[in-house]
Amino acid sequence: MTIHESPSQVTAGEVKVSRRTFLGASAGALVLSVGLPGAFAKLQAKTGEPGANVAAFLEIKPNSQVLFRSPFIEGGQGVFTAMAQIIGEELDVAPDQFIVEGAPAGQVYQILNGMRVTGGSMSVRMSYDTLRKLGASARYLLLQAGAAKFGVPAEELTTEPGFVVHKKSKQKASYGELAATASEFKAPSKLELRAKDDFRWIGKSVPRIDVLDKSTGKAEFSIDTEVDGMLYAAVVHAPHLGKEPKSWSNEAEVKKMPGVDSIHKLPGAVAVVATSWWRARKAVEALKVTWETGKDSRFPMPEAFSSAERIAHLKSVQEPKLTGEKTGNTTKALAQAAQVVEASYDAPYVVHGQLEPPSALARWNDDGTLELWIPNQAPEMFQAHAAQVAGIEADKIIIHSPLLGGFFGRHFLYDAASPYPQAIALSKTVGKPIKLLWSREEEFLRDAVRPAGVATFKAGLDENGKPIALEAANIGEGPGGRWFGRKEGKADDSFLEGIRGKSYEYKNHLVSDIRVLDPALIGFWRSVGHSMNDFFYESFFDEMADAGKQDPYELRLELLANKPRQKHLLEQVADLSGGWKRGPYTAKDGSKRARGVAMASPFGTEVATIAEVSIDKEVVVHDVWVAIDPGSIVNPAVIKAQVEGAVALGTSITLVEELTYENGQPHARNFDRYPILNRSKMPKVHVRIIESGEAMGGIGEPGLPGVLPAIVNAVCVLHGQRIRSLPLSKTQFA
């Protein structure tokens, strides 16, 4: 663990940096560092080029190591390594010479059209060009410094990893030697970038730069942070969101427990501060609290809420429909169809269940600033919200963004779903730094869960069993509309992702959004709407194919005839699996098996998936083959690892994961009642990466959506009946 000393802050504009770091440049310890923070926002506004200010992002040390302040947060998805590859390619520094850390909150780091969010598989694909320009700019400055040092024109110089070289005189200088001088120059707005054929690190399987520290316990997460003089806190929340603590009957008894400092009322919770977290937890759980209905909760949980009743209600709602996508006239085509196929599909609530439970460390400093060490996916959003909570200006909030111990969308701003407002209040009241950690039980109670959902489908088939019309309606509420708003009378595109935007060509196609507000606290989850919508759509596709006596793989190929990229990908996954065969068939071990196939187009990436399963009282997933086309590639090894992880999570929510609510409370409060995929049930994963050259897509999430329908479609071949509800553990198999 690292002990963080209380800093003396130098403040200028949008970025804060400690005085010790600020003065480091004058001592020769660093250059191209955060030297004049106040100029960052002005420079960005003047040039219109996010990332143009090399000094904000890069710091070259005397040993020529490069510190990169990343606009995006590393949570296991490999973005720190990918960014080191991208910048290093143009800067001429090997990725293993980079130190990467999350950048502080500041306007200069908002390089995604004026914002900064780690999510939506956006980090690398949306910053690729900016980061290449950043590396090229830094290299240009170093070449100018080399020219000044050697007394030669910069045009005569070149670089090799970590050095500026003058071949004629056989002189060279390390980046560390030149950095101080380099900071005195300015880079032009346009620079020539390295040709793709000359790439040394982009497109290569470069080892992850964070593996060693994570493997040896040196990597620091929010849960690891400590500061001098801090105390620990634990909380117990009201059983229902919207309830408030009224009183407790055993205060004297709890205060006598070992290490207890104080007891506090918080919005929707009670807290105990103590000398260790375990002591705080035992004490707060011993409190006998009386709860009452509050007045201010935005999303109060009805005490009679039931997830089963929620699904039943969604299935009963048919209007009003908002059109999200339309081609032709489905009403007319369905009326003329030789056969009409209808079905309703549903998927449950699921938790994030990330490895690192939520935590926050808050410290009020003598200069009036508030320092927060918190897991987050959007530092500026958290900074602005923390300022509201604390009642101070945003520029007095210092956000530290440690590595994330898993997130999948968990660390966005959700009402009542994060501990840092509680830590702020406790630290101010107690007058000491407070480290607050939620137990897993409190995490399950206050998680912003993946919403449950229902989709209805109606397909019209001609006399040959081919589809001539398809209608789909998604029913419920998505996190995009809840947290970022939606226009009245307009379909929520984020809610429909995975149902709209499919690549199949129909003459008549209609996708609708039926909004039904969700009583539960909902949030973003890995692949967001795709995590259930592709299951709905691709499963019904097979049901439609079966009704028309069509092979689902061949029918997909037919409907992708004018989509060469997707058609090629489907053919590639079939080839990867040894050739398409649906089954049932007998495997070498004597088990009866079948295969299912699915397509998905999440976050700018195209994916085709095939799964092979058997049933032995329960579903066994043997192999999953994934062909993925992200357009352009930065690190194939990271892509493969992300696909493997996505398959694991996709298999888990297909087979066993489900959060149920009874009487307004989650049935599961820990993993004892919320099963996840056992490693013995993990299928073999086979990945083929296709680089089509199209615009770069995302990687962290796209591997998941196709897994669910591929498995279910295979299971239905063996089961003989169509399964329309997840997880599969609810289905009885003979």
Strand partners, 471: 458, 510
**pTM (2 d.p.):** 0.92
Query: pLDDT tens, 217-247?
Result: 999 999 999 999 999 999 999 999 999 999 9
Give residue 22's pLDDT: 28
Quick: pLDDT tens for 459-481.
999 999 999 999 999 999 999 99
Residue 681 burial by Cβ neighbours in a 10 Å radius (0-12, 13-18, 19+): middle
Q: How far is residue 325's CA from residue 508's CA, in Å, rounded to a whole number?
A: 11
Handedness of CA 192, 195, 201, 203 (dihedral sign): positive
Q: Report yes or no: 231 and 115 within 8 Å, Cβ to Cβ.
A: no
Q: How high is the pLDDT of residue 4? A: 57
596, 710 Cβ separation under 8 angstroms: yes
> Is pLDDT above 80 for 53?
no
Q: What is the side-by-side order of every strand in the sheet holding 158-160?
A: 158-160, 163-166, 171-174
Q: Give the pLDDT confidence of 402-450 residue by residue, as tens digits.
A: 999 999 999 999 989 999 999 999 999 999 999 999 999 999 999 999 9
Which pLDDT value is given to residue 534? 98
Half-sphere exposure of 127 (CA within 13 A, CB side): 32
Per DSSP, the residues of 42-104 read: HHHHHH--TT--HHHHEEE-TTS-EEEEESS--SSS-HHHHHHHHHHHHHT--GGGEEEEEPP
For 671, residues 6+ apart whose C-beta sits below 8 A from its C-beta are 353, 440
Number of Cβ within 10 Å of residue 211's Cβ equals: 11
Residue 600: other Cβ atoms inside 10 A? 30
Backbone φ/ψ region at 502: left (φ over 0), alpha (ψ -120 to 50), beta: beta
Better pLDDT: 298 or 437:
437
647-664 as b/e: b if 16+ CB within 10 A:
bbbbbbbbbbbbbbbeeb
pLDDT at residue number 689: 98
In the predicted model, is pLDDT for residue 324 greater than 50?
yes
Residue 45: pLDDT over 70: no
The mean pLDDT value of the chain amounts to 92
User: CA-to-CA distance for 150 and 166, rounded, in angstroms?
Assistant: 8
* Cβ neighbours for 417, distance < 8 A, ≥ 6 positions apart: 446, 447, 448, 521, 523
Check residue 47 and give its pLDDT: 34
The band of 111, judged by pLDDT with boundaries at 50, 70 and 90, is confident
CA distance 94 to 65: 10
Is it the case that residue 375 has pLDDT exceeding 50?
A: yes
Q: Which two tokens stand for residue 628?
A: 């993925």
pLDDT at 687 over 70: yes
**pLDDT tens-digit series, residues 514-572:** 999 999 999 999 999 999 999 999 999 999 999 999 999 999 999 999 999 999 999 99
Q: What angle do CA 159, 161, 165 make, to 5 degrees?
A: 30
Q: What is the mean pLDDT of residues 631-639?
A: 97
Residues 6+ apart with CB under 8 A from 433: 227, 228, 229, 230, 231, 361, 362, 363, 364, 427
- Tell me the DSSP string of 520-538: S-B---TTTTHHHHHHHHH
